[in-house]
Amino acid sequence: MKVLTVNHVTQRFGGLTALSDINLEIREHEIVGVIGPNGAGKSTLFNVITGMYAPTEGDVYLGETCISGWKPYEITAAGLGRTFQNIRLFPRMTALENVILGMHCRRQTTLPQIIFSTRRKKEEEERCRKEALRLLSIVGLEGKELAMPSSLPYGEQRRLEIARALATQPRLLLLDEPAAGMNENETAQLLEIVKSLKSIGCAIVLIEHDMKFVMNVCERLYVLNHGEQIADGTPEEIRNNPLVIEAYLGS
């Protein structure tokens, strides 16, 4: 079963072609990497998939459903979760509250409704709390539920973002440079967590520059360069692809 299909997607910004005829297929439970030099179009690809931009040409399918032109929150509700290249947590909310907020994204509740709703039942609150605690423990943040994001080390903030994205119950999770800025120890912890996400049943597509990380965790890779898809294949195939070595790995 395919979770995501990117079908001949081209994205132009004025005269700049950020993506040119990109084709991706992600199957259930797969962990797939997108690599390439800075400016290759990787984040733009995520932005098109998540509905920040409607593709200039081509279509994006989540399962069998064409989601091109859908709004980001509609795409989240349809089962697509993401984290961003730069951390985006709610600074005045605890770790637990950040995750609970993620659950409500799925339900399309507005922020004021979440905060001011007095009708919400106690059991529902308790269920959300338990689920959020479970997600925090999946990303190795048990015991940190009452911490404010800024009090957490950088690596833990990034993992908190993953927990919040998981709270939307995604069939597919997009991670934009999850290991960026992490030290070796934090990267190793993240590696184990990403691998463990496979067992909770969502597919993952990640953008990452850390080649050791990518080659270790990804089953397949797509390579972008100047908005073009120059290769795809297993880590082994990509490592030995002369085009990829010239454009990216050789540098």
Residue with Cβ nearer ligand ADP (41 or 140) = 41
| Cα–Cα distance, 201 to 79 (Å, whole number) | 12
CA distances from 181 to 58, 86, 122, 187 (A): 34, 10, 40, 9
| Cα–Cα distance, 1 to 84 (Å, whole number) | 26
**Cα 123 → chain centroid:** 30
Which of 52, 50, 39, 44 has its CA nearest to residue 11? 44
Given ligand ADP, Mg ion, none, residue 187, with its beta carbon under 5 to 8 Å by kind, binds none
Given Mg ion, ligand ADP, none, residue 81, with its beta carbon under 5 to 8 Å by kind, binds none
User: Should residue 18 be labelled a site residue for ligand ADP when binding is judged by CB under 6 A?
Assistant: yes
* Span of 20-28, 40-48, 134-142, 221-229 interacting with Mg ion by CB under 5 A: 40-48
* Span of 12-20, 102-110, 178-186, 210-218 interacting with ligand ADP by CB under 6 A: 12-20
Closest approach, Cβ 235 to ligand ADP, in A, equals 19
Residue with Cβ nearer Mg ion (43 or 98) = 43
Residue with Cβ nearer Mg ion (36 or 140) = 36
Tell me the torsion sign for CA atoms 145, 150, 151, 154: positive
User: Should residue 44 be labelled a site residue for Mg ion when binding is judged by CB under 5 A?
Assistant: no
| Cα–Cα distance, 36 to 94 (Å, whole number) | 35
Closest approach, Cβ 86 to ligand ADP, in A, equals 12
Given ligand ADP, Mg ion, none, residue 58, with its beta carbon under 5 to 8 Å by kind, binds none
Give the total of residues touching ligand ADP (CB under 6 A): 11
- The DSSP result for 5-47, as a single string, is EEEEEEEEETTEEEEEEEEEEEETT-EEEEE-STTSSHHHHHH
For residue 49, the tally of other CB atoms under 10 A from its CB is: 26
| Cα–Cα distance, 115 to 104 (Å, whole number) | 11
CA distances from 34 to 39, 46, 105, 125, 223 (A): 13, 10, 26, 38, 6
**Which of 31, 33, 35, 44 is in the footprint of ligand ADP by CB under 6 A?**
44
Given Mg ion, ligand ADP, none, residue 66, with its beta carbon under 5 to 8 Å by kind, binds none
Given Mg ion, ligand ADP, none, residue 33, with its beta carbon under 5 to 8 Å by kind, binds none
User: Should residue 47 be labelled a site residue for Mg ion when binding is judged by CB under 5 A?
Assistant: no
**Which of 11, 20, 43, 225 is in the footprint of Mg ion by CB under 5 A?**
43
User: Should residue 111 be labelled a site residue for ligand ADP when binding is judged by CB under 6 A?
Assistant: no
* Torsion angle of C-alpha atoms 187, 192, 195, 197, degrees rounded to 10: -100
Interface with ligand ADP (CB under 6 A): 13, 16, 18, 36, 38-44
Interface with Mg ion (CB under 5 A): 42-43
